[in-house]
Amino acid sequence: MTGAAGHELPVTMFAVFGLAKALEEFCERIGISSVVGQILAGVILGPGLLNYVQPNELLGVLAELGVMFLLFQVGLEVKASELVKVGGTATLTAVLGVAVPFVLGYAICTAWGSTSIEATFAGAAMVATSVGITAKVLAAQGLLHMQSAKIILAAAVIDDVIGLLVLAVVSGMAEGSVDYTQLGTAAALAVGFTVLIAGFGSHAAGRLARRTESLRVAESEFAVAMVLLFGLAVLSSKIGVAAIVGAFLAGMMLSESAGQRLHDLTYGVSELLVPFFLAGIGLRLQLSIFSNRSTLLLGLAILVAAVVSKVAGCGLGALASGRAEAIRVGVGMVPRGEVGMVVAQIGFGLGVVSQELYGVAVFMAVMTTIIAPPLLKWAYRDAAPV
């Protein structure tokens, strides 16, 4: 690359990464989660304030890699057997964490005057959970050993499968037809893939690890881990669930056999890429749509509903684990992040979601992501880190 185009990559990376890390340092010094600082870097640089950096394909790729490595890193700290133990609670948590936000979002938008299909897309945007944000906060605080953390991670995987089905139905309604056979096949594949990897992945990875010791390629354990990460991410995408689910499952497969060197290298790559994921969320916030008072009130109503519905719905699902753990689970499922934006973008692209409601959905996704870290810090204030 030469000329102006050649400068775009380093300038963009310098601006986003540099400000994200500077604000991370500032937030850490004043006792705020570093996640908030990195998201605010995107808000400051993007259309929300300075309009210096626009969301683009380059940042999108870096962000996607960032969240994949983040979930892979979290997976390395979690054993499949531990998630299986909380499977029943996680399933109930995920189901209620989908149903309550969907109904509440639909009701609010219908009362605002939205069409039925537009309100349905709004409800669907409130369903998804961006587990990358919660995982980042819990990992940084050394809290992944907590039962609530395991419920959150397991519920988020189940949530992603349910969200896939909800989005498929809603998109089909917008296009005039729903293929229930294809929907059932996608659900069976998604569930089967997840159960297979969670149930037998660790054993297979252990055998694979013993074979990598004879490889001559540099950093052979890391190289094989990356092949596994990207391979499962591809399989997840082909089946219809998010690539980050595959990345998480890849890490979980290796959790019992991974050496310290793999942990260290993964951590280094994550520290490079995750700021682009977090700042990328902030970049999409546009405050100009709130010049209209009605839209502003809708945005605030949706934001409150997004927080309350997840805390109440997911918390109720995890109530059997105790009140404190239930609150932690509910708070941990609050952030919508990039997942909620994708749903809104699909509806906007199909022409069934207005510019105002799309902006409200993005506002909700960004603000729940900013609100979640301090709420998590409060919810886990008495928890002992490892």
Give residue 178's pLDDT band: very low, low, confident or very high (50, 70, 90). confident
Q: For residue 182, what pLDDT is reported?
A: 78
Of 153-167, 195-209, 353-367, the least confident: 195-209
- Average pLDDT score over residue span 282-289: 85
DSSP summary character for residue 143: -
Average per-residue pLDDT for the chain:
89
- How does residue 386 score in pLDDT terms, banded at 50, 70 and 90? low
- pLDDT for position 6: 52
User: Is pLDDT of 222 > 80?
Assistant: yes
Q: What are the chain's domains?
A: 63-261+293-379 (1.20.1530.20)
pLDDT category, 189, cuts 50, 70, 90? confident
Average pLDDT over residues 30-39: 92
Say if residues 134 and 154 touch (Cβ distance below 8 Å): no
Highest mean pLDDT among 118-132, 215-229, 235-249, 318-332: 318-332
Q: What per-residue confidence (pLDDT) applies to 130?
A: 85
284: closest CA among 52, 16, 42, 9? 42
- Express as a percent the part of the chain with pLDDT over 70: 98
Using an 8 Å Cβ cutoff, are 379 and 331 in contact? yes
Residue positions counted in the chain: 386
Q: pTM to 2 decimals?
A: 0.87
Closest by CA to 190, choosing from 150, 246, 231, is 246
Helices (H), the chain: 3-29, 34-45, 57-75, 80-85, 87-112, 116-127, 131-140, 147-175, 180-212, 220-239, 243-254, 260-283, 293-317, 323-332, 337-349, 355-379
Provide the pLDDT for residue 3.
Answer: 42
